[in-house]
Structure 1
Amino acid sequence: MDQRQQSRTMRAAKRNILFNKYEIGKILGQGNFAKVYHGRNMETNESVAIKVIKKERLKKERLVKQIKREVSVMRLVRHPHIVELKEVMATKTKIFMVVEYVKGGELFAKLTKGKMTEVAARKYFQQLISAVDFCHSRGVTHRDLKPENLLLDDNEDLKVSDFGLSSLPEQRRSDGMLLTPCGTPAYVAPEVLKKKGYDGSKADIWSCGVILYALLCGYLPFQGENVMRIYSKSFKADYAIPEWISPEAKNLISKLLVVDPEKRYSIDEIMRDPWFEIGFMRPLAFSMKASAVDDTVIDFNDDVVEDLDPKSDVGGGEFVEAARPSYNAFEIISSLSHGFDLRNLFETRKRSPSTFISKLSASAVVAKLEAVAKKLNLRITGKKEFMVRMQGVTEGRKGKVGMTVEVFEVAPEVAVVEFSKNAGDTLEYIKLCEDQVRPSLNDIVWSWQGQGSS
């Protein structure tokens, strides 16, 4: 190798080192707001995943509050079956979250191949309950437990991930309850959609029950052609257990998928259940090393840290070495605006929320929709009992924008409203919804699906 080539190789190696500590490798995933890279800790040779987030996009999309929450939660929960947050670092333009590298994929991938044996399902369910119990003991509720958020490591052991929607003790009301509905429709507990508040720990247990059902059956207990049908079934615990499930497993499922949260099994009762107890050994979470994530010592000095190129993508010869930091990374995060659902970081396309929950009756929501249509000069082209079709009056790229709005009263005190485009250009439809329809409905909206804050 000649001197010139050797020099180029050395420069490339230098550019692929992050803060004198991590060597950056291939990209693992990307979205509009973040990229995730494989990394290697040069001191320990340990593989890690590095989430690289552009602060400019965080400010624009108001995601900072959600990032701060996820970091705070992951600092509290260090457990063999929870993905570990190792470090948070930052420059002027980017934030870096270094997390445990879990390369076995999602538990969801196993479910796509069909049901599991009871032995395999029990193992994963035991590991899930162990992790959830540890979270609850720290005052943390996950609020979005589902197979897509359960990863598998090299040993086929489960790791709970994605704490973007989780809650901390300080987010609860004085009575200990949470109010903001969030989660994934097929897994969310019925009480989460009610306006009276809910116990996040009991809601997590319902989600665990749905996961156990899916592991054993190979499909979900509550299914429907749209989200409202799913909600309607879950509100009544309308499900059937196939005959191949053992009586002991059926009994446990029946104790988890209980509509009344007060009658639902607790974690302690789950752990005493005869089916669950078989072969169960509680992991020694306290034996894990202390967290390296400490917001009092993660500092960065603007005078000595060479920032990454803000105009280029991250990785592939764009990382630089940096001196010891002295500027607080959490102050960098705190200086930005408020945040929403962290999952938006990995959306590959901008999507307008299409479902909201209202505390009004279905008939009152329909009346409001008709008033909004008149106010915005939208023509009502069709109407049934709880369905309204509206159309714009101006011609767009693909004709006039049209939308269908369906209202479902899934419980006496809960109406779920779903929008869908039925004509016109998609971008024009999104703009109409974002700029005009959504603001006009603010007084009846309790929560848009996927946007929660407590």
Structure 2
Amino acid sequence: MEKGNVLMKRYDIGRLLGQGNFAKVYYGRDIKSGQSVAIKVIHKEKVLKAGLIEQTMREISIMRLVKHPNILQLYEVMATKTKIYFVMEYAKGGELFKKLCKGRLKEDVARRYFRQLVSAIRFCHSRGVYHRDLKPENILLDENGDLKVSDFGLSALAESKLQDGLLHTTCGTPAYVAPEVIGRKGYDGEKADVWSCGVILFVLLSGYLPFFDSNLIRMYRKICKAEYKSPSWFPPNIRKLLTRILEPNPHIRISFDKIIEHPWFMEGLETKPCDNESKEKEMILPVMTKSTTNTNAFAIISLSMGFDLSGLFIENDNKEEVQFTSKNSPSEIMIKLEEISGNLNFRVVKKDEGLLRLEGNMSGDCLCVDIEIIEFACSFHVVEMKKVKGDVVCFQKFLNGGIRTALKDVVWSWQGELPMVNDGD
């Protein structure tokens, strides 16, 4: 992709912001709104060869799941036969790491960043997401100087836990990884993230790493024993907090819920109730609760946002069934389906509660389609359309020959669809 290209007639592509082994990130601008964005371009062939399909799909699903003011937002995903495009929030301030290269931060600035980091990661945990690679290089700053957590490529979902309730994949950046992750005996993703946040706090306040050695084995030994020395300028309350965060035993390590109650963390929030700090306190302190709907949040979002991500790597022209989500009532959906079937010269041969069977001719061939309406959550339904008789090509013609357009009033999102763009890059 060259500078000056236009993506999907929607985004102007600008300068290269950064690159890795499998992707490049460009500055972009939404042509219609003028909004600045970052566009991550991933080469499918490289991802396939490296066996990173699952990781790429997991990153997309997780970024769609964690919507928070201090988490870099994924706006949309597009794909061609050769590339995948992440259109993301643009963090004008760049990496926090570059800011730290100039030296340690003032205590009040470090505390502000730490509050925002804890707020973001605590929110991730409330959604069953564990980051597992927290470090200043993966933390960006926006134009207002607010923190944005990024890079969820190594993240895990609660569903990844084994029968022992623990995660077992050893991953992360050595200097920031928790001792139990190194031990390879299983670990709690939440407690591991707490440790990494503690290392980041130390770096924010001191300007250097608490655990560092040119010999990796020696560094791991220091981590496992929590052998570090706080600078002389650290006040006692910070030393005490870090001691509780950088606790080698995860069972007695402080939790995020306790961190936000710590006096150093709370300093200024209660004594200076200015607008910004009041908003910050509201964002951090509420305990996340899970209703019945939130329990299924990942599954609901997965369906509603088009999360059949196999379409990124496999052509889906021969599907024999499709799904869409709707916020309309079953009766409204049923009425609309019957109306459309009549317009397409299909007849209703079976009708039951939440089930409709249509039969008709498509290109001279008989086609029979079952349509089932499933209540997934309160005021949220999944509609499955499945070919039970006839040719797959006829079924695709049935779908694309007007039914998709006709259903636009009741469809929230078609599952498995990602905008396709021309390979002119």
Q: TM-score, normalised by structure 2?
A: 0.64
**Aligned partner of 1:109 among 98, 102, 111:** 98
> Is 1:331 the equivalent of 2:310?
yes
CA distance in 2, matches of 1:109, 1:33: 22
Q: Aligned pair in 2 of structure 1 residues 298, 189: CA closer, same or farther (>3 Å)? A: closer
| Structure 1 residues without counterparts, runs of 5 or longer | 1-11, 300-327, 337-454
1:90 aligns with 2:74: no
Would the alpha carbon gap of residues 20 and 298 (structure 1) be closer, same or farther in structure 2, given more than 3 Å must change? farther
- CA-based RMSD: 2.6
The match for 2:252 among 258, 263, 281 is 263
Deviation at 1:196, TM superposition (A): 2.4
Deviation of residue 170 (structure 1)?
1.1
Distance 1:146 1:31, change over 3 A: closer
For the residue of structure 1 that corresponds to 2:87, the secondary structure is strand
The 1:272/1:31 distance shift into structure 2, 3 A limit, reads closer
What is the distance in 2 between the residues matched to 1:18 and 1:297? 24
Give the counterpart letter for 1:43 in structure 2: K
Deviation string, structure 1 residues 114-161 (Cα, Å, up to 9, x no partner): 221111110111110000100000000000101111111111111101
* 1:18 and 2:7 matched: yes
Counterpart for residue 445 of structure 1: none
Q: How many residues end up aligned between the 2 structures?
A: 292
Could you say which residue in structure 1 is the equivalent of 2:417? none
For residue 187 of structure 2, give the secondary structure of its aligned residue in structure 1. coil
Kindly indicate which of the two structures has a greater share of residues assigned to strand.
Answer: 2
Distance (Å, rounded) in 2 between the aligned partners of 1:153 and 1:332: 32
Runs of 4+ deviating beyond 4 Å? 283-286, 293-299
Equivalent residue number for residue 27 of structure 1: 16
Alignment of 1:234 onto 2:223: yes
Q: Distance in 1 between matches of 2:304 and 2:201?
A: 41
- Alpha-carbon separation, structure 1, partners of 2:100 and 2:32: 37
Does the CA-based 8 Å contact 1:130-1:283 persist in structure 2?
Answer: no
Q: Trace 1:15-164 onto structure 2 (pairs within 5 A).
A: 16-164=5-153
Distance 1:26 1:108 in 2: 21
Describe how 1:337-348 pairs up with structure 2 within 5 A: none
Classify 1:329/1:31 alpha carbon distance in 2 versus 1 (closer, same or farther; 3 Å). Answer: farther
1:49 aligned counterpart, secondary structure: strand
CA, structure 1 residues 294+200, in 2 after alignment: closer, same or farther (shift >3 Å)? Answer: closer
Asked whether the equivalents of residues 205 and 267 of structure 1 are also in contact (C-alpha less than 8 Å), the reply is yes
| Corresponding position: 1:166 with 2:155 | yes
Do 2:91 and 2:142's aligned partners in 1 also have CA atoms closer than 8 Å?
yes
The answer for the alignment partner of 1:184 in structure 2 is 173
Distance 1:88 1:55 in 2: 14
User: Can you give the 5+ residue segments of structure 2 that lack an aligned partner in the other structure?
Assistant: 270-279, 287-296, 316-425
Structure with higher RCO (Cα < 8 A, 6+ apart) = 1
The C-alpha deviation readout for 1:360-412, integer Å capped at 9, x for no partner, is xxxxxxxxxxxxxxxxxxxxxxxxxxxxxxxxxxxxxxxxxxxxxxxxxxxxx
Which has the higher mean CA deviation after the structures are superposed, 199-208 or 56-65? Answer: 56-65
What residue identity is the alignment partner of 2:27? Answer: H
Cα pair 1:90 1:329 within 8 Å, conserved:
no
Aligned equivalent of 2:274 = none
Q: Aligned partners of 2:218, 2:5: CA distance in 1, in Å?
A: 50
Aligned residues of 2:65 and 2:301 also touching (Cα < 8 A): no
Offset of residue 22 of structure 1: 1.5
Match for 1:216 among 177, 201, 205? 205
User: Partner letter of residue 333 of structure 1?
Assistant: L
Identity %: 55
